[in-house]
Amino acid sequence: MTSGNLLADRRLEMARALHERGDAAAAVELLEQAMELAPEWIDGLFLLAGWLEAQERREEAVAAYARCMALDPSDRVGAVVRLALLGVLAATPELPEAYVAGVFDDYADRFETALVERLGYRVPGALHDLVARLGGAGTLHARVLDLGCGTGLAGERFRACSSWLEGVDLSAGMVAIARRKSIYDVLEVGEAVSFAGLKTRHYDLVVAADVLVYMGDLEAVMVAVSRALVPGGRFAFSVEAVEGEGFRLTAGHRYAHSQPYLRRMVEKAGLAMEAVVETTCRLEAGQPLPAFLVVARRPRDAIVGEDVATPRGWTEATRLAS
């Protein structure tokens, strides 16, 4: 994280040292000096905002987050998420693409070690076992789409039961690691909803392991997947769980969804809820994180390409192109 200004960078290094020693007030003062030298340094500004927030200097933190968004409308640092959690802005229906891609590009090399070995992540295997129970042991899927494939953790589990396995992820860094495993027939970098909605081929299984947690409003992705499934095809996915209705943005910068909301979105997309399993997906702050594993199925009598409700935000051109 460099500002391009040597003096500003040195002040940041000293500020970090002070912060690590517990002198947060002095660290903030030094980082503010750094920002005076490099006023458009988004990474430094975002760090400053977080330190101000931790000191309960709310108004200053809000101003710094807002400045981040003004400097970078794509919001690769995720300032809008912090503003939503502070109650300044309403939660957005999904996280900014640039933010999600940036997080996972930076995280790619250590992703599997952190998630599987340290946090006990178990979603890919659990989804695979659930699909196998529903479809019957030994079922071979003709075409499988791993939506938000990441480094290929789900692909590794579904490869043996897939004649054709395709993966897509927003993060080029994650796709690069998945490519090294040589388990996919096709890998692409792209946004999940657009990718699924604009495909001309159809799949008998679409998997989204720990992907929909970065989307609040699931209407668009449900519709896109529904249209991409063959009659009788299944959509197997996981979400973090919350009680009540709807969905909410969590302190972990992800979304949690309620079971009634999931059922409404599944049905609205013309799918049938085949299974919902309450489980835990991994650890967070040392505690099991509640989750739902869901399998929804397209009716066998559905017509390939038939229209379903067009989600909000889709243009007529997008709908026709799909």
Radius of gyration of the chain (CA): 21
Q: What is the pLDDT of residue 196?
A: 77
23-72, pLDDT tens digit by residue?
999 999 999 999 999 999 999 999 999 999 999 999 999 999 999 999 99
Interatomic CA distance for residues 223 and 306, integer angstroms: 11
**Structural domains of the chain ordered from first start:** 6-90 (1.25.40.10), 107-321 (3.40.50.150)
Interatomic CA distance for residues 298 and 228, integer angstroms: 10
Q: What is the pLDDT of residue 200?
A: 65
Whose CA is closest to 210, among 169, 264, 260? 169
**Under a CB-based contact definition with an 8 Å cutoff, are residues 178 and 169 in contact?**
yes
Interatomic CA distance for residues 97 and 119, integer angstroms: 25
Q: What is the pLDDT of residue 154?
A: 97
**Under a CB-based contact definition with an 8 Å cutoff, are residues 139 and 132 in contact?**
yes
Whose CA is closest to 16, among 61, 42, 50, 53? 50
**Reported pTM:** 0.87
188-206, pLDDT tens digit by residue?
999 888 887 766 678 999 9
Helix (H) or strand (E) holding 110: none
Question: At a CB cut-off of 8 Å and minimum separation 6, what does 126 contact?
Answer: 238, 277, 279, 293
Helix (H) or strand (E) holding 50: helix 42-54
* Token pair for 64: 């710094």
Interatomic CA distance for residues 139 and 233, integer angstroms: 13
Q: What is the pLDDT of residue 267?
A: 97
Averaged in consecutive runs of 10 residues, what is the pLDDT profile of the chain (322 residues)? Answer: 92 96 96 96 97 96 97 96 95 93 91 88 95 89 96 96 96 96 95 77 93 95 94 97 94 96 97 95 90 95 53 32 27
